[in-house]
Amino acid sequence: MKKFAFVIFFSFFFAAALSAADKLVNVSDAGSNCPSGGIKIEVGPDANGDNEIDEPAEETKFVCNGENGEDGSAPAVSIAPADVTDCSGRGGIVVTVGSDELPVCNGQAGADALINTTELAADSGECPCSNGCIKIEAGLDNKTVNGVLDANEVTKTEYACNGENGAAGANGKNALSKITEITNETTSCKNGGVKIEVGIDADGSGTLEANEIDNNQTKYVCNGTNGKNGATGPTGPKGEDGTDGKDGAKGDQGDKGDQGPKGDQGEQGETGATGANGKNGAGSVVSVVDEPKGENCAAGGKKIEVGLDANGNGALDEDEIDPESVYYVCNGRDAEEAGLASSSTGCSLESIDENGTLMSVVFALMSIVFAIFVLRKARS
């Protein structure tokens, strides 16, 4: 019966001490679930803050009394400050129940303490107890911070053994515990916590009465202090550029500068001797074709090629084209680069205005033909 009382107190005390602020543990009579009596342990969230477990509970366990056990007595419970090495310098308490010791450490930077309980059979391969046990896992919600004790957050694992059936005899009196939440007004717990009271159910009522409380075993488990604020996060990405503002008003035109003085006219050179008449040359031929949009004319235009009809066939063949007499008449207005420009000599004509007519093109062609005619006469 002593072992059974230890199991009840140890399981309940451990759950109450490590449960997070939003978890509740409810202990009640097992009823028909335990033929010889026992307790029912329910663990669940308190989402609405009314200090009641929201239905249904996340976990429900029954710890049954052993049949015909010997009279039991309250287990010896003591609480002392944890050694530095037990809690990695964070501080806490060491709970001693009988001969068993369990460190209960303060949470890291405000992380909630959580607990998982799993009922295991004696033949499960994991339970070290001959009559089965409850596996108790505890830790801090400091990895995923999701209110659930994940496998990588478990820091302590203990097994609470079920009591062994005793020899025939009268039923013993059960050990009970009572947990009361305390506020930060209590001087022993600056951030609040829980008050744990234990004793023997002398009248068999299933409730720990005031006269049944063993005051020497009353203990307090205080909440940890709030963690420090986290570091400031990195600067967010640069926002999109705003729309361009409107152009400012055009400034006034500056004054026109004075015209510089005209330079002196140079002396006229002597007239050169008249050269001998040259031989009659071949006739000049002109070819006009469409020039597509591209490097020579951004907006397209006309390509004019000039050469001598060496073979006298009246057509300008490719090998008769004079490379220095190739001109382009481009469409549209193109600042400095547009116009009628020679591909090699640098001669050029201004481009045809985009509002010009076909007569402008014809006039330009006639001017070129006239220039070639004059040139031909001069050669002859």
Mean pLDDT by 10 residues, the chain (380 residues): 43 43 74 85 80 79 73 68 69 77 68 82 87 86 83 87 61 76 70 80 87 81 70 76 82 86 86 73 80 89 86 86 87 52 40 49 72 66
Last residue of a domain, one of 192, 222, 252: 222
Helix H or strand E encompassing 373: helix 358-379
Cis peptide before 56 (omega within 30 of 0): yes
Q: What is the pLDDT of residue 200?
A: 87
Question: Are residues 208 and 201 in contact, defined by beta-carbon separation less than 8 angstroms?
Answer: yes
| Domain assignment present for 237 | no
Whether residues 188 and 319 fall in one domain: no
| Domain assignment present for 347 | yes
Alpha carbons 199 and 77: distance in angstroms, whole number:
11
Whether residues 192 and 307 fall in one domain: no
Question: Are residues 39 and 61 in contact, defined by beta-carbon separation less than 8 angstroms?
Answer: no
| Domain assignment present for 59 | yes
Alpha carbons 71 and 69: distance in angstroms, whole number:
7
Whether residues 130 and 12 fall in one domain: yes
Last residue of a domain, one of 189, 205, 222: 222
Whether residues 343 and 218 fall in one domain: no
Residues in the chain: 380
Whether residues 204 and 342 fall in one domain: no
Whether residues 33 and 108 fall in one domain: yes
In this structure, what DSSP letter does residue 213 have? B
Q: Which domain holds residue 342?
A: 284-379
Question: Are residues 356 and 339 in contact, defined by beta-carbon separation less than 8 angstroms?
Answer: no
| Domain assignment present for 60 | yes
Domain total for the chain? 2
Q: What is the pLDDT of residue 7?
A: 41
Q: What is the pLDDT of residue 9?
A: 45
Whether residues 198 and 306 fall in one domain: no
Whether residues 329 and 214 fall in one domain: no
| Domain assignment present for 242 | no
Q: What is the pLDDT of residue 365?
A: 76
| Domain assignment present for 258 | no
Last residue of a domain, one of 171, 189, 222: 222
Whether residues 9 and 149 fall in one domain: yes
Structure tokens, 16:
């109450």
* Upper half-sphere CA count for residue 254 (Cβ side, 13 Å): 3
Question: Are residues 196 and 176 in contact, defined by beta-carbon separation less than 8 angstroms?
Answer: no
Whether residues 202 and 95 fall in one domain: yes
Residues 6+ away with beta carbon under 8 Å from 182: 189, 192, 193, 194, 195, 220
Whether residues 288 and 218 fall in one domain: no
| Domain assignment present for 327 | yes
| Domain assignment present for 303 | yes
In this structure, what DSSP letter does residue 309 have? -
Whether residues 333 and 196 fall in one domain: no
Alpha carbons 221 and 274: distance in angstroms, whole number:
128
